Each structure stands twice: as structure tokens, then as C-alpha cells.
Structure 1
């Protein structure tokens, strides 16, 4: 039986230990896999209702990965049955001038989940220990300080009622090439392609090394990282859905007790 434990990042973890093409959570034929994802999406909707009804805690799902790793697709499939009132998605792009005028965590703190809500971050504060490291904008000492600041930030969230789930969507360079080419070859998807994607692609090895360091430094007991083999899209969706459901079940969510004032009430 497939286990999430293998994909949880520890202190000696290396990204090369996980094959992007792994599919340990796929069983049966395509129809069965799609049905399982759909069932999990429905269960996730029920759990989100309980999270909202309980009114004490919240969940933050962080999705990180190289370009084309499937962050948008994950949101589209995993939350396909969930009420938009209970799930809020934020996409982090290059910082604006206003955001650069403040500390790098400011824009993240502004969109943390509210009580009873699941917040999904498409990219995140981890961009600030990936791009600046690869581009040489910060040195090793500053990167180390940022790792510590991020750990403290996430500890604050956890200690104030947020459960943090962090997923690194892991694809290989050949898979990215195919997905980028598909965007170019499909007129309706060309808007997703940027020439900047090719510039980043030339630094693939540097980004893999930056991810290695960031994952190890910031996978903590209170906010662990999971590496999701993501070459296969259905596997990616299924694994993340299973991880989320496991997390929500372990929260032991309960609806508030019945209101005795409503007992026997008849609406005419």
C-alpha cells in the first residue's frame, strides 16, 4: 500500500530521491482513477463544511513547483466539488513595487486563511528563497535568515489555529519541455506561455539545488513538506487529495452541538 511517509521531507532529504514519474497512488484503470478523485473531491467538500461549522481552525495549502508542474490543474481538480465560499485561492506573481517596499512576507500575511476557510497558495513565500538564490540577489547568510523567518512565520500560523500543508509538485525537465511545447502548439493555451519560461528553464539545475536546500531547511514538525511526483497529472491530483483528506480527518472536526432552542421547532 502506498504511503505518504516516503514523500515527507526530512533533514537528509534530496529531491533526486523521488522520481517525478512515480505513480504509487494510482490503482485500476483511468475511469476508476477519475472516479476516486471525484469521490475524494466530494468528501473534501463535506470536510470543508465541518471546518466552517466548527469555526475555530483553518487550513493553508501551499503549492510550489517549476513552471508547468500543475498548480492550476491541482486546484481545478482537487477542489472541483468544493464551495467557492470555503476555498480561497491566491496566485503569487512577481512582487509589485508596493510589495517590494515592504518585507517579503507582508503580502503573504495579508492572505492567510480566515477561520473556517481553506486557503490555497499558487506559489508562495517560498519564491523568496528560490528566485533570489538562483539569481544571486541574496547570499547564503541571507537565505539562511529567510529560512528561519519562514519557519517562525509558519509556527505563528500553526499556533494561532492554522494547519499548514506544503506540497512541492515535482516534474522532470523532459516533462516540462512537452508541456511548454503543448502550450505553444495550442492557440487556446498560448497565453499561458512566456518567453521568460525558457530563461528559467536554462537554470533548471540551479533551481533543483535551491529547492533541495529550501525543502530541507523549512520542513518542520509543525509545517512539513511533501514532494508530489507530478509527471502524471491524475496521480498528482489523487495524491494531494489523499494528503488533504488525511490532514482534515486527523483534525477530528466536529459540528457544534445542536441548539436546544430549535428542538421541536416547526416552521409554518
Structure 2
């Protein structure tokens, strides 16, 4: 199977979203790709167990993408080998009444993973510069000071919100959270095919909503907002990765490989050693257990 260089997917300079690939050829059959994904997922689970014992780093896994990009299934397949004690997933949807009584980052802050754990944000704090930018009327529900009408939502407002997001990520990165941000980049044609499959397959009908078609009409607006967000917020401490998502097995494998290759480079993540006085007495502990009546 074709080797991948994770830097080929990392957004490290200004991009035009139309130039980002939505497909990638691993030069292998689907079953082989799925087998390799299982192998990498098992290796990731081993790293996670060590991180859990080590207890000094957390991992924040952020995933964004248009409807049908494959977010849910990717999370399921990449993390299926993990011990549930070390992973917490959150799917952020429409803010609740309680969440709207706080600032927009509050619900994400309280969901951050503790050191030693993986936290998954399925849709993320970036909804606040994506969905609300395409639908600025949603901001009125936040009941913010000095925002009394849509006329008050100017470019300075968005600049400030991007700065707040960047500062939030810098703060948690400085305090031990390893941040991954994945943009599942699906083409408009592939989205159409996936929506049709949802309609054609009765067992998948529940996934479809007429709102999906309304949002599809705003495709160009969303692409423009994604491009701006990727350009403004891909930082060395919190990089964005463009994941070609037209083929789901390929997208899952690339994400898993990026996670693994990045985390295995942390040579300070090790299982803690027993104190010297306990190591010296291991043989006596064994003998005590073996001599139990």
C-alpha cells in the first residue's frame, strides 16, 4: 500500500479550498485498506493505554465536514479498538437553553478531555464560525451584549471570534492537550450520491432530512467559510488536516495514520515505573501471592 506523508495533508500555508483534493489513491484494494486500518487502530489503542497510565497529556480530536462527509463512521472505525475508559465523545448539535446562557465556548470547555484521555468533538467549536457565519441570524439566540441586530455582526466581530478560538486552543495546548483538527473534504458530487443512497435505502432513510437539501443550496457559502477558518486557525500547536473524503476507507486510514505517526513521536509518553522500594520487593510480592492458602 502506498506510504503517506502526513505533512502532505497538513495545512501549513494559505490555501484555496478548491485546490484541496477530495480523493486520494492508496493504490490498494478496500479490504487491504480496512485491514491496515485495524492494525493502526490497535497500535493507537496501545498508545492510548500508555497515555492513560502516564497521565500528562490529553488528546483533543476535532472533526468537521459537510453533511454526509462520513464523520460518525470514521470515529467508529478509527477508535473501535480503544478501551472505553480512556475516551469520551461529544457530538455538538444545536445549543441548549442552558448552553445559550453561557458564552459560545463554554460547552466545549467543559467537555475537554482530562489528561490521559482522548476527547472527540464530532462537530466542534468551529460551528461558531461556520454555521453561524452562513446563518448569522442564529447569533441572536446567544443574547450577547452589543449585538442587538444583524447590523452589529461585522467583520470585527468575526475577527474577534477567530482570535478567541486561537487563544483557547493555544491555552489548552500549552497545558498538555495535543490537538488534531480534521476537515473531511467531500466533493459536492459525492455528497449528492450519499444523499441519494440515504433516500434509496430504507434502513438509511432516518438519516435524511429536507434541511440537508436546504444546506446543500448553501454549498458555496460553506466552502468559503471553511476556507477562511482553515486559513486563520491552522497553527503549529493546533494544525488542520485536509482529509480527502470521497472514499471512506481511505479517509479513515489517513486519519488513523496521522494520529499514530504524530503520537508515537512523543518519546516522553511512557508508562510510569514503580518506585524503587516496590521494584526491589517484586519477588516477595510474587511469593506472598503464591503462598496464599
CA distance in 2, matches of 1:64, 1:212: 12
For residues 36-185 of structure 1, the aligned pairs below 5 Å read 36-137=36-137, 138-185=153-200
Q: Unpaired runs of 5+ in structure 1?
A: none
Instruction: Name the SS of the counterpart of 1:120 in structure 2.
Output: strand
Q: Which runs of 4+ in 1 moved over 4 A?
A: none
CA distance in 2, matches of 1:181, 1:29: 25
What RMSD, in angstroms, separates the aligned Cα atoms of the two structures?
1.3
Check whether the contact 1:169–1:228 (CA below 8 A) recurs between aligned residues.
yes
Structure 2 residue 241 is matched with structure 1 residue 226:
yes
Instruction: Using structure 1 for the length normalisation, give the TM-score.
Output: 0.95
Partner of 1:263: 282
Equivalent residue for 2:201, pick from 186, 189, 200: 186
Partner of 2:7: 5
Instruction: Using structure 2 for the length normalisation, give the TM-score.
Output: 0.87
Check whether the contact 1:133–1:139 (CA below 8 A) recurs between aligned residues.
no
CA distance in 2, matches of 1:243, 1:157: 20
CA distance in 2, matches of 1:29, 1:212: 32
Partner of 2:143: none
| CA displacement 1:114-153 (0-9 Å, x = unmatched) | 1100011100000000011112344322111111000000
CA distance in 1, matches of 2:57, 2:21: 34
Q: Which protein is bigger by CA-based radius of gyration?
A: 2
